[in-house]
Amino acid sequence: MLGETTGEPLYPSSKVSAGGNKKIGTFGAVLRITAFLGRLNVHVNRPNQEKDYIVRHRELDNLLATIQFSIPQHLKYVPGSQDTRTAFLQNLTSVASILLNQAALYKSQLTELPLRLSDLASRCHMGALEIASTIRGTSNVHVTLQCAYTAFCIYVGARVFVEMLRQPGPCTPPASGPTREALQGDLSMMLAALQTFTEHVPLAGHFLMQLEADLNGLEKVISVRPYDVTVGYAECHVRILSLFVC
């Protein structure tokens, strides 16, 4: 909790109120990432015309890096750990990175930006891999003991894999980078995890329905679908709110 007696000082220290004795806990760190997502929403949907898009993008990119570096060591997720609090915090920071770079990728389709598209796509893929890693690490933890909004993180990461699989495959296997088999395996795992969440988190069902729509046209690519989007949601016609950018 923000203001708890354990933890480390908030960063940067100039932002700490008088006294400088406030500490940051898991909940406080999540609030900081959530506030960043709010700024990202403003950046995409209600841009400040006084600054160019690339300037705002770089400011947010630097801010996210500052937040990530400022997270105390005891709140950082350790690969293989089953600590659901640090896992959710890691997932949320990965989601923030994915959405920021996805927004720049979509913007680059409308106008030229002084950014390397391959770097933006690579960072999206890296964020998705981080989410997949934490989901695997906490797979033995019951869903009811995990944050419900982990389902949203799974959805964001799965969409990255879907978009990558939509790209034409090379004639020969790439010397570096992910193979289509690796992407298919990660996506199948994420879909299975999201299906598990639907049993206890109704919101996850909406994300699963949206992924079903995103997967249209990839039936031959994803030959195994370990889920049924109609289970328990036959009467549900509510579409999940799209990401900040579609």
Query: pLDDT per residue over 159-209, tens digit each?
Result: 999 988 887 665 555 556 678 888 888 999 999 999 999 988 888 888 888
Listed range (14-18, 94-98, 140-144, 149-153) with the worst mean pLDDT: 14-18
Identify whether 23 is part of a domain.
Answer: yes
Structure tokens at 149: 């909004």
- For 103-141, letters b (16+ CB in 10 Å) and e give bbbebbeeeebebeeeebbebbbebbbbbbbbbebbeee
Listed range (110-124, 183-197, 218-232) with the worst mean pLDDT: 218-232
pLDDT band, very low/low/confident/very high, at 53 (cuts 50, 70, 90): confident
Q: What is the pTM for the complete model shown?
A: 0.77
Q: How far apart are CA 194 and CA 234, in angstroms?
A: 17
The residue among 243 and 66 whose pLDDT is bigger is 66
Identify whether 92 is part of a domain.
Answer: yes
Identify whether 231 is part of a domain.
Answer: no
Secondary structure of residue 24 in the 3-state scheme: strand
Q: What average pLDDT does this structure show over 44-71?
A: 84
Q: How far apart are CA 151 and CA 130, in angstroms?
A: 15
User: Quick one: pLDDT at residue 48?
Assistant: 63
User: Quick one: pLDDT at residue 5?
Assistant: 39
Contact 8/24 with Cβ under 8 angstroms? yes
Residue 24 pairs in a beta bridge with 8
Q: Residue 204's closest CA among 143, 136, 121, 113?
A: 143
Mean pLDDT of the chain: 76
Total of domains in the chain: 1
pLDDT band, very low/low/confident/very high, at 11 (cuts 50, 70, 90): very low
Instruction: Please give the torsion angle defined by the CA atoms of residues 96, 97, 103 and 106, in that order, rounded to the nearest 10 degrees.
Output: -140
Identify whether 159 is part of a domain.
Answer: yes
Identify whether 69 is part of a domain.
Answer: yes
pLDDT band, very low/low/confident/very high, at 16 (cuts 50, 70, 90): very low
Q: What average pLDDT does this structure show over 121-141?
A: 91
Identify whether 13 is part of a domain.
Answer: yes
Q: What average pLDDT does this structure show over 207-229?
A: 60
User: Quick one: pLDDT at residue 23?
Assistant: 60
Identify whether 232 is part of a domain.
Answer: no
Domain that holds residue 105: 8-214
Identify whether 237 is part of a domain.
Answer: no
User: Quick one: pLDDT at residue 156?
Assistant: 94
Q: How far apart are CA 130 and CA 91, in angstroms?
A: 7
